[in-house]
Amino acid sequence: MCGFAGFVGDVEDREQVLVNMMNTIVHRGPDSEGRYVDEEAALGFRRLSIIDLSAVGDQPLYNEDRSMVLVFNGEIYNYQDLRKELVEAGHIFVSNTDSETLLHGYEEWGESLVDRLRGMYAFAIWDTKKKKLFVARDIFGIKPLYYAQMNGTLMFGSEIKSFLEHPKFDKVFNEAALGNYLSFQFVPTNETFFKGVFCLQPGHYFTYENGEMKITRYFEPHFTGDCKKSFEEIVEDVEHVMKESVEKHKISDVEVASYLSSGVDSSYLTYLGQVDHTFTVGFDEGKYSEIQDAKEFAASINMQNDAKVITPEEYWDKLPDIQYYMDEPVADPAAIALYFLSEEASKKVKVVLSGEGSDELFGGYNIYCEPLEHTAFNKIPMCIRRALGKFAERCLPRGVKGRGFLMRHGKTLEERYFANATNIFTEREASRLLKKGSEPGIQKVTRPLYERVKGKDPVTKMQYVDLHLWLVHDILMKGDKMGMANSLEVRVPFLDREVLELAETLPLDYKVRAPRTKVALRAAADKVIRSKTAEKKKLGFPIPIRVWLREEKYYNIVKQMFTSEAAKKFFHTDMLVKMLDEHKDGKNTNEKTDNSRKIWTVYIFLVWYDRFFEHGKPVHPAMNGR
């Protein structure tokens, strides 16, 4: 819907400072802007008009006596019900926006407002009488929210880049985050790569008053698995809750379209949404394109599909600008493909439905089958398996079949599983690669999460970890940032409070029956879409990085970055080049060694570092009067 930026604290020429901050996020809201400035606080807003297209819906919004000021990014899908309740309580509305519901809701219910919200949101309310700021983020983390306390000033907003325009912001690289990034392919905590900048975690809010911040967690998912209904009844419940969620997510005064791959998630949403337009991207690399399958599915349900073939040249050429829009490096190759997908969609619509979240809620990742398989091997005493795992890691060459299996099963689930990403650096590999080394940090991140689901089945544990790490810092990060880079709002009907309430009750057998995943969801989808699509194995977003890195052109591009002065600051560059050469030449095994994920993780970091700490920023078309 939009983006916002603001600060609390003294600074000269405060209105111009706010304008400069807002200009960095113009891509999030090219339709209009608004700002509030007083002696204590400044709140700026960029709007992408979706509900109530009139100027009355522009932000900041005020309550009746203008003592409270709101800026808000997102959509509240139950706002009509909340509005009715607030009107009956005597509140006077001046617009038809969902935004104003937050303002009057805070007046009526205070901080407990967040317990009533169904939607995606990040918002800030400034109480001019109490000189108090209230800031909240939705329960899944669909919408981003960052903050920094520096030099007597609190900065907050939708994107970190806005902080760089504030005179009291100290831009310092947070090298301590690099080790975990290499293992996770993203920063997995509330820290960021900018020292002193933090992301507010999902299901949290904070208050800021008299220079003091208080952070409160107001929501946590609880997977009980206590449903006693038959499988057929559960399938009906899934069908009902998804229909209702999609209906809510289509509330808009502009057209809503849908992303469409060849998988069950987007296909099911597209069918339920009955949208007019669907959008797909792929690569002209055979198995790396889902375009034909998507077109066939769209035709089977009489929907239009617009597809784009991404060339290797445009994919690589756009990387620096994409890293700027991302704010932080996320070494998921699908992030770049999402940029082009959202770019295509934005040519015709402002809002799309997307299938993020179904795997975390309904048990969809293929790796969730692993604890339920190989049960005979897992009966071998752990001391023996641990010895075999250490031998495989240290003695077997990368690429040898079975090496990864032995390494994973030489550890407990809590030791080995930290995110739905494979073939990234182990802690040992990361420490060797980094010049300053890296203290083990993976279990420092995951241990508190596993403690909260102690006693649950292994799939539920993995879901819980992914909900807090992979979903927030990879899936939703790239979904929001790549959509908003093209002034496109991405809505995710699977990540809905009522859908979650159902998913929390599903027993293991309704989620995963190895080798099948998302059992109940697939059964619901199979009732209305072709079984070929409903039962298709999870693919992710296929990107031919492995192939490109063996081509001379892209090998040389990466090698130049791997031997740059920036690379020498952080890495043993001889090891980087060796890793790159092994991938290109296929040394060490009869099969070609695949180091592509490791190479890409380092390369994306260096591209991002170059953009934010070495060179300038791109000019978005909206800044030139789009």
pLDDT (tens digit per residue) in 340-393 = 999 999 999 999 999 999 999 999 999 999 999 888 888 899 999 999 999 998
- Residue 68's φ and ψ, nearest 5 degrees, are -130, 140
Spatial distance between the Cα atoms of 77 and 508, rounded to a whole number of angstroms: 30
Which residue, 14, 48, 16, is CA-closest to 33?
A: 48
Residues 238 and 496: beta-carbon distance below 8 Å: no
Whether residue 594 has pLDDT greater than 50: yes
With 0-12 / 13-18 / 19 or more C-beta atoms within 10 angstroms meaning exposed / middle / buried, residue 480 is buried
Q: What is the DSSP letter of 191?
A: B
Least confident piece of the model among 183-192, 263-272, 578-587: 578-587
- pLDDT of 623: 41
- pLDDT of 50: 60
Grouping H, G, I as helix, E, B as strand and the rest as coil, residue 226 is coil
Residues 163 and 148: beta-carbon distance below 8 Å: yes
Residues 193 and 180: beta-carbon distance below 8 Å: no
Average of per-residue pLDDT across 318-344: 95
- pLDDT of 534: 57
Most trustworthy range by pLDDT among 475-479, 526-530, 586-590: 475-479
Which residue, 264, 203, 266, 267, is CA-closest to 467?
A: 203
Sheet arrangement for strand 2-8: 32-37, 41-47, 2-8, 153-157, 146-150, 197-199
Run of H or E including 136: strand 132-137
Average of per-residue pLDDT across 18-37: 92
Q: What is the DSSP letter of 315?
A: H
Degrees, nearest 5: CA angle 511-513-515: 120
Q: How does 122-157 read in b/e, with b if 16+ C-beta sit within 10 Å?
A: bbbbbbbeeebbbbbbbbbbbbbbbbbbbeebbbbb
Spatial distance between the Cα atoms of 207 and 215, rounded to a whole number of angstroms: 7
Residues 32 and 235: beta-carbon distance below 8 Å: no
Q: What is the set of active-site residues? A: 2
Whether residue 574 has pLDDT greater than 80: yes
Residues 421 and 404: beta-carbon distance below 8 Å: no
Run of H or E including 326: helix 319-326
Grouping H, G, I as helix, E, B as strand and the rest as coil, residue 47 is strand
**434 CB-near residues (< 8 Å, 6+ apart):** 178, 179, 182, 570, 571, 572
- pLDDT of 621: 44
Helix spans in 137-258 (H): 178-184, 231-249
Whether residue 624 has pLDDT greater than 70: no
- pLDDT of 626: 33
Largest CA distance in the chain: 75
Spatial distance between the Cα atoms of 34 and 95, rounded to a whole number of angstroms: 16
Average of per-residue pLDDT across 605-623: 75
Tens-digit pLDDT profile for residues 100-149: 999 999 999 999 999 999 999 999 999 999 999 999 999 999 999 999 99
Relative to beta strand 204-209, strand 132-137 is antiparallel
Tens-digit pLDDT profile for residues 207-231: 999 999 999 999 999 999 999 999 9
Spatial distance between the Cα atoms of 375 and 25, rounded to a whole number of angstroms: 51
Average of per-residue pLDDT across 17-45: 94
Q: What is the DSSP letter of 196?
A: T
The torsion defined by the Cα of 51, 53, 55 and 59, in degrees rounded to 10, comes to: 30
Of residues 399 and 179, which shows the higher confidence score? 179
If you average pLDDT over every residue of the chain, what do you get? 91
Tens-digit pLDDT profile for residues 546-560: 999 999 999 999 999
Find the length of the chain. 626
- pLDDT of 115: 98
Whether residue 625 has pLDDT greater than 60: no
Spatial distance between the Cα atoms of 349 and 237, rounded to a whole number of angstroms: 31
Percent of the chain with pLDDT over 70: 92
Spatial distance between the Cα atoms of 474 and 6, rounded to a whole number of angstroms: 25
Of residues 535 and 583, which shows the higher confidence score? 583
- pLDDT of 533: 62
